[in-house]
Structure 1
Amino acid sequence: MKVGFGEQFTEHMVTLYWSTATGWTGRPQVVPFGHLSISPATAGLHYGQVVFEGLKAYRRKDGTLGTFRPDAHARRFQESARRLAMPELPEELFLEAVDAFVREDGGALPADAPELSLYLRPVLFASEATLALRPAKEYAFLLMGFVTGGFFSDQPDPVSVLISREFSRAAPGGTGQAKCAGNYAGAFLAQQAAADAGCQQVVWLDPVERHWIEEMGGMNLFFVRGSGAAATVVTPALTGTLLPGVTRDSLLILAEERGYGVSEERISVSQWQTESEAGVITETFACGTAALVTPVGQVRDGESAWVIGEGKQGPVTGELRAALTDLHQGRAADPHGWVRLCPSLPS
Structure 2
Amino acid sequence: MRLLKFGMVCLLAAGCSQADTNRGSIEAPEGMVYIPEGSFHMGAKSTEAYEDEFPTHEVSVSPFFMDATEVTNAQFAEFVEATGYVTIAERDIDWEEMKTQVPEGTPKPPDSVLQAGALVFRPTSSEVNLADYTQWWVWTIGANWRHPEGPESTIADRMNHPVVHVAWDDAVAYAQWAGKRLPTEAEWEWASMGGRKDIKYPWGNESAENASDKANFWQGKFPYQNYVLDGFETTAPVKSFPANGFGLYDMAGNVWEWCQDKYDARAYESYQRKGAVEDPKGSAQYYDPRDPYTPKHLIRGGSFLCNDSYCSGYRVSRRMSSSKDSGFNHTGFRCVQDVKS
* TM-score (norm. length: structure 2): 0.26
More strand by share: 1
More helix by share: 1
* TM-score (norm. length: structure 1): 0.25
